[in-house]
Amino acid sequence: ETGVTQTPRHLVMGMTNKKSLKCEQHLGHNAMYWYKQSAKKPLELMFVYNFKEQTENNSVPSRFSPECPNSSHLFLHLHTLQPEDSALYLCASSQAASGEYEQYFGPGTRLTVT
């Protein structure tokens, strides 16, 4: 595997389900990010982790819970989601949590909440 991988690629879940999104980077980076991409809206930064520590939570509802066990893995735990949470969730990584470093994105998980 190379670059940034995300699983699953597609997920359909009901509002009462609990599911997790997984991201893995094979680039030796120290920073990882979760973004939400909705139709007709800009990419929204959700969370930033730098050296496994959360450095930013962009006012994300608590029904989204991130976890970063090490610099290579990032999870997004989902529970009691709303239909408006349906979107493409993108994971990215960079050498460090600084915007001047190129962020490498995974292909995303297409989430549909029914």
Partner 1 sequence: QQQVKQSPQSLIVQKGGISIINCAYENTAFDYFPWYQQFPGKGPALLIAIRPDVSEKKEGRFTISFNKSAKQFSLHIMDSQPGDSATYFCAAVMDTGRRALTFGSGTRLQVQP
Of 12, 56, 61, 82, the residue at the interface with partner 1 (CB under 8 A) is 56
The amino acid occupying position 8 is P
**Residue number with CB closer to partner 1 (55 or 82):** 55
Nearer to partner 1, 17 or 75 (CB): 75
Helices and strands, counts by H and E, the chain: 0, 11
* Interface pick for partner 1 out of 12, 14, 51, 102 (rule CB under 8 A): 102
Report the residue number, 33 or 113, with the smaller CB distance to partner 1. 33
- Alpha-carbon distance of 114 to 106, in angstroms, equals 24
Is residue 83 part of the contact set for partner 1 (CB under 8 A)? no
What torsion, rounded to 10 degrees, do the Cα atoms 76, 77, 80, 82 define?
Answer: 10
Residue 34 as a binder of partner 1 (CB under 8 A): the answer is no
- What is the Cα Rg of the chain in Å? 13
Q: How far apart are CA 24 and CA 6, in angstroms?
A: 6
Which residues sit at the interface with partner 1, rule CB under 8 A? 4, 33, 40-43, 45, 48, 56, 90-92, 97-100, 102-108
